[in-house]
């Protein structure tokens, strides 16, 4: 695939998710809640998680928010990828996503949809938009592990 076609594909997936998100709303019940903000673009996100009764596993993920197509599409794709993962696996994915945005790694094929966000890494100013939901997720999971809860996490 040529670079132009690849770029079109990224844009297609991002726009489609932005227009028709599959994971918008709030989980029931809300076991974890975290707000995140990306001041450089004005994106905000409210992330909610439903945890499985046992096993420290994420059962459901939803988000609400306002922002650019990249931040919203990234949150939607993230929610798909997290369902059924343990907290440790999810934290590992946060690191992997951030490394991917630095151009260091790619996700294995089971998470290949997340790799579309790599296209965004060509536009450094947009990387924070893509990272916002992951940054917010990290805070949501870490708050539950005993660190101080933060009202709104900022990725500045
Ligand atoms: Zn943005």
Cα-to-centroid distance, 23 and ligand 1 (Å): 18
Bridge partners of 49, per DSSP, are 32, 61
Give residues with Cβ within 8 angstroms of 106, minimum separation 6.
100, 115, 118
End-to-end C-alpha distance for the chain, whole angstroms: 35
Q: How many Å lie between the centroid of ligand 1 and the Cα of residue 54?
A: 35
Distance 131 CA to ligand 1 centre (A): 10
CA 14–ligand 1 middle distance (angstroms): 12
**Among residues 29, 24, 68, which one has the least CA distance to residue 47?**
24
CA of 43 to the centre of ligand 1 (A): 5
Query: How does pLDDT run across 5-29, given as a tens digit for each residue?
Result: 666 778 888 999 999 999 999 999 9
Do residues 78 and 24 lie in contact, with contact meaning Cβ atoms separated by under 8 Å?
no
Decide which of 144 and 103 is more confident: 103
3-state secondary structure of 28: coil
CA of 57 to the centre of ligand 1 (A): 29
Cα separation, 33 vs 44, in Å, equals 14
Single pTM value for the model: 0.90
Q: Which residues surround ligand 1, an ion (CB under 5 A)?
A: 41, 43, 67-68, 71, 129
Q: Which DSSP letter does residue 105 get? A: -
CA 126 to centroid of ligand 1, rounded, Å: 6
Alpha carbon of 105 to ligand 1 centroid (Å): 23
Read off the pLDDT of residues 109-135 as tens digits, 9 standing for 90 and up: 888 889 888 888 888 889 999 999 999
Whether residue 49 is predicted with pLDDT greater than 80 in this model: the reply is yes
* 3-154 topology per CATH: Sufe protein. Chain: A (3.90.1010)
For the chain, what are the domain ranges?
3-154
């Amino acid at each position: 695939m040529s670079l132009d076609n690849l770029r079109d594909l990224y844009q297609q997936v991002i726009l489609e998710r932005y227009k028709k998100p599959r994971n918008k709303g709030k989980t029931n019940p809300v076991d974890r809640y975290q707000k995140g903000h990306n001041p450089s673009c004005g994106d905000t996100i409210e992330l909610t998680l439903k945890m499985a009764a046992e096993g420290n596993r994420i059962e459901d993920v939803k988000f609400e928010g306002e922002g650019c197509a990249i931040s919203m599409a990234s949150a939607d794709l993230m929610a798909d990828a997290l369902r059924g993962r343990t907290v440790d696996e999810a934290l590992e994915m946060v690191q992997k996503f951030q490394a991917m945005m630095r151009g260091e790694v790619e996700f294995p094929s089971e998470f290949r949809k997340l790799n579309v966000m790599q296209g965004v890494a060509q536009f450094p100013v947009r990387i924070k938009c893509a990272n916002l939901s992951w940054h917010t997720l990290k805070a949501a999971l870490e708050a539950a592990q005993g660190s101080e809860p933060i009202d709104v996490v900022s990725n500045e």
